[in-house]
């Protein structure tokens, strides 16, 4: 399978979403609390393996930084910035109805 990479990443502040346009034309809109809840860092996820949604207080998204050519990093208003979101990971989180990434979140609610 071809690796996924984004051609455009837009933080739409007034909607509180990050819109990612993928190389194959697919577009996903990721609510920031969703991205934050799936922060893949060890501090948020522990070391049990498998990624789960972690309910954290909503914080604004301060900055999006590219990491090499394989990932991006989010810095949140509360200073948290240790999560490295690889493109494959982000694509697997895509919350659009086609990808139904919401499923795993609604299970935790
Ligand atoms: Zn984290
Ligand atoms: Zn999708």
- Among 88, 89, 85, 35, residue whose Cα is nearest residue 65: 85
Which of the ligands is closest to the CA of residue 38?
1
Strand arrangement of the beta sheet that strand 84-86 belongs to: 61-67, 71-76, 84-86
Position 1 confidence tier, pLDDT thresholds 50, 70, 90: low
Q: Please say if the pLDDT value at position 100 is more than 80.
A: no
Output the pLDDT for position 73: 98
Q: Which domains does the chain have, with CATH numbers?
A: 6-104 (3.30.2020.30)
Distance 94 CA to ligand 2 centre (A): 5
Distance 39 CA to ligand 1 centre (A): 4
Distance 76 CA to ligand 1 centre (A): 10
Position 106 confidence tier, pLDDT thresholds 50, 70, 90: very low
Question: Mean pLDDT throughout 89-96?
Answer: 94
Distance 87 CA to ligand 2 centre (A): 13
Q: Please say if the pLDDT value at position 2 is more than 50.
A: yes
Position 50 confidence tier, pLDDT thresholds 50, 70, 90: confident
Distance 87 CA to ligand 1 centre (A): 16
Question: Mean pLDDT throughout 21-28?
Answer: 96
Selected residue with higher pLDDT from 102 and 70: 70
Distance 38 CA to ligand 1 centre (A): 8
Give the contacts of 88 (CB within 8 A, at least 6 positions apart): 3, 4
- Distance between CA atoms of residues 49 and 95, nearest Å: 21
């Amino acid at each position: 399978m071809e690796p996924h990479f984004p051609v455009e990443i837009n933080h739409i502040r007034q909607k509180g979403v990050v819109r990612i346009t993928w190389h194959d034309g697919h577009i996903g809109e990721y609510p920031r609390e969703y991205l934050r809840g799936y922060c893949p860092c060890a501090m948020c996820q522990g070391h049990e393996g498998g990624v789960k949604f972690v309910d954290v207080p909503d914080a604004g998204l301060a900055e999006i930084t590219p990491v090499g050519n394989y990932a991006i990093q989010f810095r949140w208003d509360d200073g948290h910035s240790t999560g490295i979101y690889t493109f494959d990971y982000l694509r697997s989180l895509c919350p659009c109805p086609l990808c139904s990434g919401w499923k795993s979140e609604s299970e935790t609610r």
